[in-house]
A = this chain, B = another copy of it.
Amino acid sequence: MWNEKQIEEYLKNNLKESRYKHSLSVRDTAVELAKKYGEDEFKARLAGLTHDCAKNMNHKEIIAIIEKNGYNIDMVSRNNPELLHGLAGSIIAKNVMGIEDEDILNSIAYHTTGRKEMSLLEKIIYIADYVEPLRNFPGVDKLRETVYRDLDEGILLSFNNTITYVISLGQLLHRDTIDARNYIIIEKCR
């Protein structure tokens, strides 16, 4: 497996500078959240650092790497290949960087849509991506505050914002996001 220096070098060479800085920031936020919520800090660090490693690939390249690795592409992702950069990233993390940990790979793969029954690490990477300090959008302060108070509550708020925003744009909604939100609500009610 590559060490962090090698991974950083790859990201520097394959991402825009702003995206590289975002990756370091997600890494640090993920570590903070791992400390707070009892996740393995090294796994959070590695998943946060690598989560966007496929972000600069174009749609054709993303679809090619995914199909080459035997995944089916659902209808919504086919219409919006941007949703697939997480899955493509998990393939690169495994095949190029030598990361084998399934939880890390899933956290990279599902960091955009979420999915049902997300692990703690998946939740941390999903939400660190939203609330890392370089992010700036209406409501981000409230979201940050919520995430550090109650992880599931923060993730639910984030899903609600995302779904409402996607609807306002008239875009397709991914089933995985709906499943993820439903599971969080059901978990919270238990």
The interface of chain A, by Cβ under 8 A from chain B, is 75-76, 79, 160, 163-164, 167, 170-173, 175, 178-179, 181-182, 185-186
Q: Which residue of B lies closest to A166 (CB)?
A: B163
- Please give the distance in Å from A38's CB to the nearest CB on chain B: 26
Q: Is the interface of A mostly helix, strand, loop or mixed?
A: helix
**Residue picked from A160, A170, A173, most chain B C-beta under 10 Å:** A173
**Candidates B173, B175, B182; contact of A172 at CB < 8 Å:** B182
One complex includes copies of this chain to the number of: 2
Please pick, from B75, B79, B170, B178, the residue contacting A173 in the complex, using a CB distance under 8 A: B178
Please determine whether B175 and A179 come into contact, CB atoms closer than 8 angstroms: yes
A185 touches B163 (CB 8 A): no
Give the complex CA separation of A167 and B181 in angstroms: 10
**17 pairs across A/B with beta carbons < 8 Å?**
A76-B182, A79-B186, A160-B167, A163-B163, A163-B167, A163-B173, A164-B164, A164-B167, A170-B185, A171-B185, A172-B182, A172-B186, A173-B178, A173-B181, A173-B182, A175-B175, A175-B179
Q: Considering only CB atoms, which chain B residue lies closest to A167 in the complex?
A: B160
Known: A164-B164, A173-B182. 7 other contacts (CB 8 A): A79-B186, A160-B167, A163-B173, A172-B186, A173-B178, A173-B181, A175-B175
